[in-house]
Amino acid sequence: MITKEFLEDICFITQHDHARASLDIFSMINHDITQGLEGSEELKYAIRNHDCGWIEYDKTPKTNKNGEIYTFQNMKPNLQNELWLKSISSSIIPYSAILIAEHFKFLNNNSSGRENINNFNKICNSYIQKSYPDLLKEIYNETFYVKLGFLKFTDLLSLIICREREIKKDLIPSIKMLDNKELKITIKKIDDSIYKFPSGFLKEKENMVEIPYKMVSNELIKTPKKLKSEYKNTKLRFRRIGLFC
């Protein structure tokens, strides 16, 4: 899960809900930037469902022996690999599955502290080659990599917004568009739950993203059974994040 501490409580956001926020963000981008990709069902499906492998795992919070919450940042690499592969194999659109696979290979290659990087890549490549041999012959073109860039961009931005983090300089990658132009985006957190985008980047000047979450006392982390029970019985809430330009 994705977590955010708030005073004496802890907020939990599932990976699949974060992916929905990723698609919400993509739908807000100016069409002059997406240049027709807003109509790509393959891309929108990949953005919305790139973390569907976590759905079952994220039903309740998990803790380790040290009393720490397992998040996407500290979970065991082998388990993360398994859930990544589950997300890829669950895709009902082959093109989207390959987009998701390339995205996870990128994360795998660029994540510090991960062991056996090549092992995941080999397993991932083997699955894709066996499942979609004909599609692989024609898929890797400029349009594919532009779509992959939007998947990377919206995934990262959604993670930041879900955790309401400050955005460090150069953290957000440039966006390459279909016309080969490259767009560098500077995004700032200007207040609690408010982010400022460059003028013209979003279709509307004022936008709102709703983040579903559950909040429980962080004291429950010490008692995993009570934590799971309380989490199941806690009502889902929604936090609104303003995106302005």
* Tens digit of each residue's pLDDT (9 = 90 or more) over 61-81: 988 877 788 887 788 888 899
If one counts every other C-beta atom within 10 angstroms of the C-beta of residue 33, the result is: 19
Residues contacting 117, CB < 8 A, separation 6+: 108, 109
Q: What is the pLDDT of residues 157-209, one digit of tens each?
A: 999 999 999 998 778 889 999 999 999 999 999 999 999 999 999 999 999 99
Running DSSP on this structure, what letter comes out for residue 178? Answer: T
Range of the domain at 235: 2-244
Residue pair 167/174 in contact by the 8 Å Cβ criterion: no
Structural tokens at position 124: 């991932």
C-alpha 13/C-alpha 113 separation (Å) is 24
Sole residue written with tokens 């398994």? 82
- As a residue count, the chain comes to 245
Which helix (H) or strand (E) covers residue 190, if one does? strand 188-191
Q: Which amino acid type is present at position 157? A: L
If one counts every other C-beta atom within 10 angstroms of the C-beta of residue 184, the result is: 10
Report the predicted TM-score, pTM, of the whole model to 2 decimal places. Answer: 0.95
C-alpha 155/C-alpha 103 separation (Å) is 10
Nearest by Cα to 35 from 47, 45, 43: 43
Work out how many domains the chain is built from and give that number.
1
User: How far separated are the first and last CA of the chain, in Å rounded?
Assistant: 30
pLDDT confidence bin for 130, thresholds 50/70/90: very high
CA distances for 242 relative to 130, 211, 245, angstroms: 43, 11, 10
pLDDT of residue 117: 74
Residue pair 154/23 in contact by the 8 Å Cβ criterion: yes
Which helix (H) or strand (E) covers residue 205, if one does? none
Structural tokens at position 60: 């309740």
Residue pair 105/124 in contact by the 8 Å Cβ criterion: yes
Q: What is the mean pLDDT of the chain?
A: 93
**Which residues in 132-145 are b (16+ Cβ under 10 Å) and which e?**
beeeeeebeeeebe
C-alpha 123/C-alpha 110 separation (Å) is 17
Q: What is the pLDDT of residues 210-221, one digit of tens each?
A: 999 999 999 998
Nearest by Cα to 165 from 202, 198, 195, 185: 195
